[in-house]
Amino acid sequence: MKSFFRTLFAVIVANALVVVLAVVVIIGAVAGQMKKPVEVKNGSVLVQTIDGEMPESEPSGGFSLPGGGVLSHAAVMENLEKARHDKRIKAVALKIGAPAIGLAKMDELRERVRLLRAAGKPVWGYSEYLGRGALYLGAACDSLFLMKYGYATLHGLASERPFIAGTLEKLGIQQNMHRIEGYKSFAEMVQRKDMSPTSRANVNWMLDVFYPAYLQTVEEGRRLPAGTIEGQVFAAGVNSPERLRDLKIVDRLVYWDDVEQGFLKVPGVKEAKNKDKNKDKKATPRPREISGQDYSRVTRAEAGIKGKKTIAIVHANGMIQGEESGMSFPFGATMGALTMEEAFRAAAANKDVAAIVYRVDSGGGDALTSWRIQRAALEAGKRKPIVVSMGDVAGSGGYLICYPCAPILAGKMSVVGSIGSISGKMNMRGLYDKIGLTKDFVTRGPFPTIDSDYFDYTPPEWAAFTADHWKGYQDWVADIARVRGKTPAEIDSIGRGRVWTGEQALERGLIDRIGGFDDAVALAREKGGIPAGQEVKLVHYPRKKSPIEALKSGGMAAFTRVLAQELTGQAVREVKEQVDGPWRREQAWAWDPNTYRPW
What pLDDT is recorded for position 60? 41
What pLDDT is recorded for position 412? 96
At residue 15 the predicted structure's pLDDT band, cuts being 50, 70 and 90, is low
Distance CA 103, CA 157 (A): 13
More confident residue, 363 or 2: 363
At residue 308 the predicted structure's pLDDT band, cuts being 50, 70 and 90, is confident
Distance CA 93, CA 73 (A): 17
Distance CA 532, CA 525 (A): 7
What pLDDT is recorded for position 574? 46
CA quadruple 449, 454, 455, 456: dihedral sign: positive
Stretch 200-207: mean pLDDT, rounded?
A: 94
Structural contact between residues 161 and 189, judged by C-beta atoms closer than 8 angstroms: yes
Give pLDDT tens digits for 398-439.
Answer: 999 999 999 999 999 999 999 999 999 999 999 999 999 999
At residue 274 the predicted structure's pLDDT band, cuts being 50, 70 and 90, is confident
Model confidence, pTM = 0.85
What pLDDT is recorded for position 543? 84
What pLDDT is recorded for position 579? 40
Whole-number percent of the chain with pLDDT over 90: 75
The dihedral over CA atoms of 538, 540, 541, 542, expressed in degrees to the nearest 10, equals: -160
What pLDDT is recorded for position 37? 82
Instruction: Say if residue 282's pLDDT is above 70.
Output: no
Least confident window among 20-24, 43-47, 364-368 = 20-24
Structural contact between residues 111 and 141, judged by C-beta atoms closer than 8 angstroms: no
At residue 525 the predicted structure's pLDDT band, cuts being 50, 70 and 90, is very high
Give pLDDT tens digits for 145-169.
Answer: 999 999 999 999 988 899 999 999 9
DSSP classification of residue 23: H
H runs (alpha helix) in 143-295: 165-171, 188-191, 197-221, 228, 241-246, 256-263, 292-295
Instruction: Say if residue 82's pLDDT is above 80.
Output: yes
Please count the other Cβ atoms lying within 10 Å of the Cβ belonging to residue 355: 24
H runs (alpha helix) in 222-298: 228, 241-246, 256-263, 292-295
| Prior bond of 446 cis (ω within 30°) | no
Distance CA 332, CA 57 (A): 12
Instruction: Say if residue 578's pLDDT is above 50.
Output: no
Instruction: Say if residue 562's pLDDT is above 60.
Output: no
Give pLDDT tens digits for 446-485.
Answer: 999 999 999 999 999 999 999 999 999 999 999 999 999 9
Residue 385 host element (H or E): none
Residue 233 host element (H or E): none
Give pLDDT tens digits for 349-364.
Answer: 999 999 999 999 999 9
At residue 87 the predicted structure's pLDDT band, cuts being 50, 70 and 90, is very high
In residues, how long is the chain?
A: 599
Residue 134 backbone phi and psi in degrees, to 5: -65, -40
What pLDDT is recorded for position 326? 84
Instruction: Say if residue 526's pLDDT is above 90.
Output: yes
Give pLDDT tens digits for 47-80.
Answer: 999 999 899 987 543 444 444 457 999 999 999 9
Residue 126 pairs in a beta bridge with: 95, 145
What pLDDT is recorded for position 591? 31
Q: Can you list the domains of the chain with their CATH numbers?
A: 44-155+199-274+285-295 (3.90.226.10), 163-194+421-494 (3.40.1750.10), 309-419+495-589 (3.90.226.10)
What pLDDT is recorded for position 330? 65
Whole-number percent of the chain with pLDDT over 70: 81
Residue 190 backbone phi and psi in degrees, to 5: -105, -10
Instruction: Say if residue 311's pLDDT is above 90.
Output: yes
Stretch 122-128: mean pLDDT, rounded?
A: 97
Instruction: Say if residue 34's pLDDT is above 60.
Output: no
Structural contact between residues 394 and 402, judged by C-beta atoms closer than 8 angstroms: yes
At residue 110 the predicted structure's pLDDT band, cuts being 50, 70 and 90, is very high
